[in-house]
Amino acid sequence: MPPKAKFTREQISSAALNIIKEKGVESLTARELGRSLGSSACPIFTVFENMEEVSEAAKQLARDLYAEYINAGLKDTPAFKGVGMQYIKFAIEEPKLFQLLFMSEQQNKPNFQNVLPIIDENYSEILLSVESSFGVHDKIAEKLYQHLWIYTHGIAVLCATNMCVFTTDEIGTMMTEVLRGLLQILSIGEV
């Protein structure tokens, strides 16, 4: 009979997430996780097979937290700008989790057209917000999303790595200016 688990899967995953939030993903070790739980590392492996499985569970919790930010952005008007603002807010408030989700090296290098659906589980909802916010469809919506993601991702990376500090008003103004320029270019058929 296997030993009774001292901690639940949720407790271990949550402790792993907290380590990543505070110290970064490279600090997530069995020893550090055990210390965080007030135990040795052994009880971890009555619930998880290995540290990769623990890491993936913590990463899913990070994705779930990020999805909360995106859902808040989707309630703004226009929704797509709200999503961008929340993406940057996530980078500011949870820099280590942002780095884990959006600044990690990819196993297979996706081409630019495929990167957003690969790295963001919220891709479809965000694309719909582009279509509904600006009355554009298909390739124009994708192109607008791609261009603004590059810009928004750049601001978010600057914030997550403490390279720059921006106020919410500055971020909103910059995004509005770029968005207006892109809408003007895309509406005259330069696709």
> Helices 95-102 & 79-93, crossing angle to 10 degrees?
110
Residue 12's alpha-carbon distances to 3, 17, 51, in angstroms, are: 16, 9, 11
- Fold entry, domain 65-187: Tetracycline Repressor; domain 2 (1.10.357)
**Which residue ranges make up each domain of the chain?**
9-48, 65-187
pLDDT tens track for 64-122 = 999 999 999 999 988 889 999 999 999 999 999 999 999 988 788 888 888 888 888 99
Task: Enter the pTM of the model.
Answer: 0.89
Mean pLDDT of 122-133: 90
Residue tagged 């957003």 (tokens): 116
Q: Please confirm whether the linkage preceding 78 is cis (ω < 30° from 0).
A: yes
Say if residue 3's pLDDT is above 70: no
Task: Identify the CATH homologous superfamily for domain 9-48.
Answer: Homeodomain-like (1.10.10.60)
